[in-house]
Structure 1
Amino acid sequence: MTDPDIKMQLLDAAKMHVPFDGWTEAAFQAAMADTGVDEGVARAVCPRGAIDLALAYHEEGDQLMLERLTATDLSDMRFRDRIAAAVRFRLEAVDDKELVRRGMTLFALPSHAPDGAKAVWGTCDQIWTALGDTSDDVNWYTKRATLSGVYSATLLYWLGDDTPDHHATWDFLDRRIDEVMQIEKFKAQVRDNKLLSGLMAGPLKILDGIKAPEHRGARSDMPGRWTGQF
């Protein structure tokens, strides 16, 4: 089997242990025992053990979301409703809330917080990309940062929501997106207002020099590009 196959085998086995043990070494050991995967092989595929499995579980949910987005006709929806649908699809891809709760406990630890933030950013990046975002400036970052906040808040609300079909969560999500749309409307008004745009000319000039990452042929350790001149 390939490394991804082994990781998924371990992940599937770990899922029944995580609700009790969390994304811990105990769950990882149990997954190895259940699958019969040699520890040396398991450690090679998942150097950080259960942490790598938790991230694989998050990525699995992202993939299920993308598959549903691809199969769903969103052409008649307003763009803000497409975003809401994507976030909803991502949450509905979860097969067990307890796996997510345990993951949030793990990624709340200072040593693993960067992994959690990166996972959420990656989810929001995939949503924007799937919905056809072509921004190549500072908006590339603000869109993903804003959606990360909306997604994280909605996720927390969803975990505690016991209403039928989680309808309270979807109402909460709609309110958060409406708030973001108001911010975007204000930004457009600032740019269209001659006085305000004049006052903001300096900061806007700086922001205009920020470019999105080059996904092809760029250094993987660089978060973006700068083309501004002073």
Structure 2
Amino acid sequence: MHEITARLARAALPHVPFDGWSQETFRAACADTGISESLARVHCPRGAVDLAVAAHALGDAELRTRLATADLTGLRFRDRVVHAILQRLDAAGDREVVRRASSLFALPHHAAEGAAAIWQTADTIWTALGDTSDDLNWYSKRAILSGVYGAAVLYWLGDDTPDAAATRDFVERRIADVMAIEETKAKLRQNPLTRPLMALQARVAASIKAPRTKAPA
């Protein structure tokens, strides 16, 4: 991300709760940073939409920093995933900023970009937690976590419990559900009746490779 885009995205955040991810917010960010609107348009041709995307990317960058410095050695892997999701929500900052972004990316012409942003968050989490998969599992892990994270965001936006305790419980339940599916798959691989089918699935999965270019650091 270019430094100018990052500066504009950060400057926009205080204005979003009042004006949303709008052109008013874009112009205010330009004024606050002293960056001319013409130069800002070079880096953010769609104005506030590009700033919303950039703000999400900054949240992912903050999460990478937090996870890189956190000591997670005493946690089960599922608890590491829960911790990462909760840290990402905390890094998002003002809930109204996130609510406005959710509304923006719910629009049909921005929905694909919103989905891509959530996918990027899932990839950030898996990469930071040391995922080494390079086949179909690379995609399935991120698809599943994207669903969990997207649901967690919506739950968190309506959570008024102290320290978002209800959101933690929600995330823990969702991750437990995912782990239960993985445990079932492991049992199927050991069952003589289903072992051939699972072996075929594994061969198909191995033939599908993860993209060579991963998320930027």
TM-score range, shorter chain: over 0.9
Structure 1 residue 196 displacement after superposition: 1.1
Instruction: Write the mapping of 1:198-213 to structure 2, written as runs, cut at 5 A.
Output: 198-200=196-198, 202-213=200-211
* 1:151-206 deviation digits (Å, cap 9, x = unpaired): 11111111100000011100111000000000101111112112112245555443
Structure 1 residue 14 displacement after superposition: 1.5
Instruction: Write the mapping of 1:178-197 to structure 2, written as runs, cut at 5 A.
Output: 178-197=176-195
Take 1:156 and 1:38, find their aligned partners in 2: how far apart are those partners?
35
Choose 1 or 2 for highest CA Rg: 1
**SS across alignment from 1:211:** coil
Q: What is residue 96 of structure 1 aligned with on the other side?
A: 94
Coordinate RMSD, CA, aligned:
1.6
The structure-2 alpha-carbon separation of the partners of 1:71 and 1:203, relative to structure 1 and needing over 3 Å to count, comes to closer
From 150, 154, 163, the counterpart of 1:165? 163
Instruction: Write the mapping of 1:1-230 to structure 2, written as runs, cut at 5 A.
Output: 4-200=2-198, 202-215=200-213
* CA contact 2:6–2:58 (8 Å) conserved in 1: no
* CA contact 2:82–2:171 (8 Å) conserved in 1: yes
The answer to which of 116-125 and 23-32 deviates more is 23-32
Take 2:200 and 2:71, find their aligned partners in 1: how far apart are those partners?
42
Structure 1 residue 8 displacement after superposition: 2.5
Structure 1 residue 5 displacement after superposition: 2.6
Counterpart amino acid of 2:192? K
* 1:26-76 deviation digits (Å, cap 9, x = unpaired): 211222233331122000011111111101111111111111111110011
The structure-2 alpha-carbon separation of the partners of 1:204 and 1:134, relative to structure 1 and needing over 3 Å to count, comes to closer
Take 2:159 and 2:100, find their aligned partners in 1: how far apart are those partners?
17
Take 1:76 and 1:30, find their aligned partners in 2: how far apart are those partners?
45
Which 4+ stretches in 1 moved above 6 angstroms?
Answer: none
Counterpart amino acid of 1:208? A
Instruction: Say how many residue pairs are matched.
Output: 214
Task: Name the structure, 1 or 2, with higher relative contact order (CA <8 Å, separation 6+).
Answer: 2
Identity of aligned residues (%): 56
Take 1:83 and 1:170, find their aligned partners in 2: how far apart are those partners?
11
Task: Give unpaired runs (5+ residues) of structure 1.
Answer: 217-230
Take 1:204 and 1:65, find their aligned partners in 2: how far apart are those partners?
32
Take 2:201 and 2:75, find their aligned partners in 1: how far apart are those partners?
34
TM value normalised by structure 2: 0.93
Take 1:142 and 1:116, find their aligned partners in 2: how far apart are those partners?
18
Take 1:13 and 1:200, find their aligned partners in 2: how far apart are those partners?
51
Take 2:67 and 2:203, find their aligned partners in 1: how far apart are those partners?
36
Counterpart amino acid of 1:121? W
Counterpart amino acid of 2:95? K
Task: Give unpaired runs (5+ residues) of structure 2.
Answer: none
